[in-house]
Structure 1
Amino acid sequence: MFNLDALDLARIQFAFTVSFHIIFPAITIGLASFLAVLEGCWLKTHNQVYKDLYHFWSKLFAVNFGMGVVSGLVMAYEFGTNWARFSDFAGSITGPLLTYEVLTAFFLEAGFLGVMLFGWDRVGRRLHFFATIMVAIGTLISMFWILSSNSWMQTPQGIEIVDGRVAPVDWFKIVFNPSFPYRLMHMALAAFLSTAFFVGASAAWHLLRGNDTPQIRKMLSMAMWMILVATPVQIAVGDAHGLNTLEHQPAKIAAIEGHWDNKPGEPSPLVLFGLPDMQAETTRYSLEVPYLGSLILTHSLDKQIPALKSFAKEDRPNSTIIFWSFRVMAGLGMLMLLCALAALVLRRNGALYRNKAFLWLALLMGPSGLIALLAGWFTTEIGRQPWVVYGLLRTTQAASNHGALQMSVTLALFVVIYFSVFTVGIGYMMRLVRKGPNAADARHTDDATARRPLSAAD
């Protein structure tokens, strides 16, 4: 297939499946916490608007949760089928961490999900609120273990190599490896922002169509408050994460910056735009800002950032890709901040729900959180190359012994099946969004059929 070997196809297949999958957990994490906030506000204020929104978004949560579970199962099998040598080498670490995720998070979510979705009139208010909180906590615990496992692959510690395999020595160091706290916070905020822009875009769409109700206004208001709070924090966390990456994965930083050479005694510039050429070892058509690279990445004007030429060719990540994926993420982050500040100004002027230019901006920014999330994951995962476990196991050593034909067939099947199944699921979620929150859904919760997500849209 396109002159790609089995290793390239295995990488593309995993990238394809994980890119599909990560969208659903991100929205699940954000919506679970959003639902807990909505129910808490309803219990405190008895404002029916919060209850209406809870019932509306719980339907989307249920559909999204199901698609996330289905898409996630595939990746677990891929570790064994396509990356058997990686599983053999590092299974003593990744296996227990993923098992902890199932035991502590998935069981917690599964145990309370039914009460949350179908127990509104069957259990007391406090018990139902407790179930909603438990589901939200379960999604955060799941993220904790998944990020711990992935972060260990980025910054491994607490192990020793015995007979060509990883053996755990200190589980505290394994779980709380150097990059884990930064990546956990970065992912959590990305999930909240992705959900906030999804909710905000849904509200903006209805307002632009003249569906101006208290429920729609509350959706937009809550989404914009979350974006205003979370975006500056995300920028600060991203900066700290960059400093951590500079310390532990300097080649990744050099590739992200498209920075090839350091001049003796001069601070490093920041390459705003350009076309990194891995073969020619240069960034063509680069637009540079003097001193800014050192200032942003080292917080000083006398230190230099690493240059790609200081690393062996076989140890360099592909700068051509992650140079731009990082800039997509960072650029969208700046647009998010602009959107949040615009909402704040309009809110103070009493025009938040009427300004069509802003509503169009909020609508167009709807997928921005998910796009930035995917761009960030491309940056961190491609930037780890050529390593699967950084500094310990190369990608070429991790793949199973499959042929290109086998990988081509399975990749083609995945593409067809994923687009067929998940296009239907995503399309159904969009139908729910177009329907919008209906107060009647919350008024008639004694009808069990009305609470089934798949009966919510005509």
Structure 2
Amino acid sequence: MFASVDPVILARIQFAANITFHILFPTISISLAWVLLFFKLRYNKTGDESWMDAYRVWVKIFALTFALGVVSGITMSFQFGTNWPGYMETVGNIAGPLLAYEVLTAFFLEATFLGIMLFGMRRVSNRMHTIATLLVAGGTTLSAFWILALNSWMQTPAGFEMIDGRAHVTSWIEVIFNPSFPYRLVHMLLASGLTVAFLVAGISAYRWLRNDRSREVLHSMRTGVVLAAILIPLQIVAGDLHGLNTLHHQPAKIAAMEGTWKTEKGAPAVLFGLPNATTQSNDFEIAIPKLASIYLTHKIDGEIKGIDAFADRHPPVAPLFFAFRIMVGVGLLMLAASWVAAWQFRKRGAPAPWMARLLVAMTFSGWVALVAGWYVTEIGRQPYLVYGVLTTAQAASKVPAAMIGSTLAMYLTLYAVLIVAYISVVFHLARKAGKSKDDSSQSVIPGQLRSAQ
């Protein structure tokens, strides 16, 4: 069935499936660790046991998430050798150390102190338990630092020279802090924060709608809503700066994202259309004149390079065009939902039933925006694996298409089952937490809503 398909395409799809599944879990664990630290610090300051109740619920979800992230990451790392041997052969002098730094400085830190977070609440002092939570949170962010350093270097390589077809470092500072790294790191950390904010708010709203009106649920839901309301405007600003950086270093990616086929000044912003590679245009296009030039160059007549400027060295337009609009659309929905929910908390101390249901529906909306944004980043680098240095075709293995296709089918099946299982377990833990409470002692009556804030 797969024998007639291009092996490189199958290898790309397989790696995309692996990284799509993997990235879902570190994205949660990075910021959820900091939310757990917030819960712990609030308990330390107030002595309110409901904050520790929130900690106990969410540390279980953190542990589950961390475990899936580790397992899927190991699977993904194998594919550097099985699917992309040319990658390590060419840039292994850079990629290898950065991946090793992530394991040595971040993963070991997280794995070691996670045990104290889970099993040390009554075995170590409260101070030591708080420090363990802080170290795990720092470890997750440090892990993101190293992985984003490598990924950003693949997008905007710097600090190296090619000798006999292999990359050799001339400056580790330039490698790590390459031109796009600060923008990608901030953008990713904010995306992680938003993913966790809606996860916490959504699961808490689910419990709220099931009549679990405990102070712990109220604290968790309000934390998620306020965090989202704060982070989404910051993400919009960071996204704009990231876009300007991408325009400078990867203009072909911007052209595909915007659906700009012809180089022009005063380029319109295409709100909707169906990219047509045959006619080099967008069918059924709806656009706002000059708007793309305004937000990309901050000039009304700024020039935007089109696909026609890059010959055959440009990414496929349609995937980037639609993925970018999904990311932006979900982001705008996040903005509206979080601000309205925050306003409701301020006015009435709790969300209206319809808003609680919307928060439940948006529990995993961060995943949607994240995957869409990640596809923009990764597909937008094509046809290169390392931009301007190594093409995807050059790095691919000689594994037959039939073998790649069979393992791809297994991966897709397994990952679909695991995602369903993960979501089911998360909601099961939410229901179990609600049932385990003594309603008479934990519930918040309407008159106490404001004091609970």
TM over 0.5: yes
How far apart, CA to CA, are the structure 2 residues paired with 1:102 and 1:336? 33
The answer to whether the 8 Å contact 1:52/1:439 transfers is no
Equivalence map 1:401-412=2 (5 Å): 401-412=398-409
Which residue, out of 366, 369, 373, partners 1:372?
369
Which residue is equivalent to 2:394? 397
User: Residue 280 of structure 1 corresponds to which residue in structure 2?
Assistant: 279
The 5-angstrom pairing of residues 182-193 of structure 1 reads: 182-193=183-194
8 A contact 1:215–1:437 mirrored in 2:
no
2:147, 2:110 → 1: CA distance? 15
Flag the 1:193–1:242 CA change in 2: closer, same or farther, 3 A: same
Q: Which residue of 2 aligns with 1:347?
A: 345
Quote the Cα distance in structure 2 between the aligned partners of 1:173 and 1:324: 33
Q: Deviations over 1:150-206 (max 9, x none)?
A: 110000000000001111110000000011111101111111110110111111112
Counterpart Cα distance in 1 of 2:293 and 2:417: 47
Equivalences for residues 10-409 of structure 1 within 5 A? 10-263=11-264, 266-312=265-311, 314-350=312-348, 352-353=350-351, 355-409=352-406
Paired with 2:364 and 2:113, the residues of 1 have a C-alpha distance of: 29
In structure 2, C-alpha distance between the alignment counterparts of 1:437 and 1:135, rounded to whole Å: 27
1:431 to 416, 428, 431: 428
Between the aligned partners of 1:293 and 1:413, the Cα distance in structure 2 is 42
Unaligned runs of 5+ in 2: 439-453
CA contact (8 A) 1:29 1:139 kept: yes
Deviation at 1:24, TM superposition (A): 0.7
Distance in 2, Cα, partners of 1:212 & 1:200: 14
Q: Residue in 2 aligned with 1:446?
A: none
**Greater CA deviation, 367-376 or 335-344?**
335-344
In structure 2, the partner of 1:455 is: none
The offset of 1:351, in angstroms, is: 5.5
Maintained 8 Å contact 2:256/2:321: yes
Using the alignment, how far apart are the partners of 1:267 and 1:384 within structure 2?
25
- 1:362 partner amino acid: L
Contact 2:270 2:288 (8 Å CA) reproduced: yes
Percentage of matched positions with identical amino acids: 45
Name the SS for the 2:382 alignment partner: coil
- The AA in structure 2 aligned to 1:227 is A
Write the deviation string for residues 330-379 of structure 1: whole angstroms up to 9, x where unpaired. Answer: 011111110122023212321533x1121122111111111000000001
TM-score (norm 1): 0.93
> Which stretch has the larger CA shift, 276-285 or 29-38?
276-285
Q: How far off its partner does 1:279 sit?
A: 2.4
**What CA distance in whole angstroms lies between the structure 1 residues aligned with 2:374 and 2:19?**
10
Deviation at 1:431, TM superposition (A): 1.0
Q: CA deviation at 1:304?
A: 1.5
What's the RMSD between the two structures over aligned residues?
Answer: 1.5
Whole-Å separation in 2 of the counterparts to 1:288 and 1:422: 37
Residues in 1 aligned to 2:436 and 2:142: alpha-carbon distance in whole angstroms: 33
Q: After superposition, what is the alpha-carbon deviation per residue over 1:92-134, rounded to whole angstroms, capped at 9, x for unaligned?
A: 1110000000000011112211111111111111111000000
Residue pair 1:254, 1:306 contacting (<8 A) in 2 also:
yes
Paired residues of 1:260 and 1:308 also in contact (CA < 8 A): yes
Q: Give per-residue Cα distances to partners, 1:63-99, cap 9 Å, x unaligned.
A: 1111110011011110011000111011111100000
Instruction: Output the CA distance in 2 between the equivalents of 1:219 and 1:425.
Output: 20
Q: Tell me, yes or no, if the aligned pair for 2:269 and 2:292 is still in contact at 8 Å.
A: yes
SS of equivalent to 1:109: helix
Deviation digits for residues 429-453 of structure 1, max 9, x if unmatched?
2211232357769xxxxxxxxxxxx
The question of whether the paired residues in 2 share the 8 Å contact of 1:67 and 1:422 is answered with no
Task: Kindly indicate whether the alpha-carbon contact (under 8 Å) linking 2:212 and 2:434 is maintained by their aligned counterparts in 1.
Answer: no
Provide the secondary structure at the position in 1 that maps to 2:303: coil
Q: 1:450 maps to what in 2? A: none
Whole-angstrom distance in 1 between the partners of 2:8 and 2:19: 17
1:287-306 per-position Cα deviation (integer Å, ceiling 9, x unaligned): 11011011110111121111
**Counterparts of 2:161 and 2:336, CA distance in 1:** 47
Question: Structure 2 length as normaliser, TM-score?
Answer: 0.94
Letter in 1 for 2:139: G
2:377 and 2:299 map into 1 onto residues whose CA distance is 24
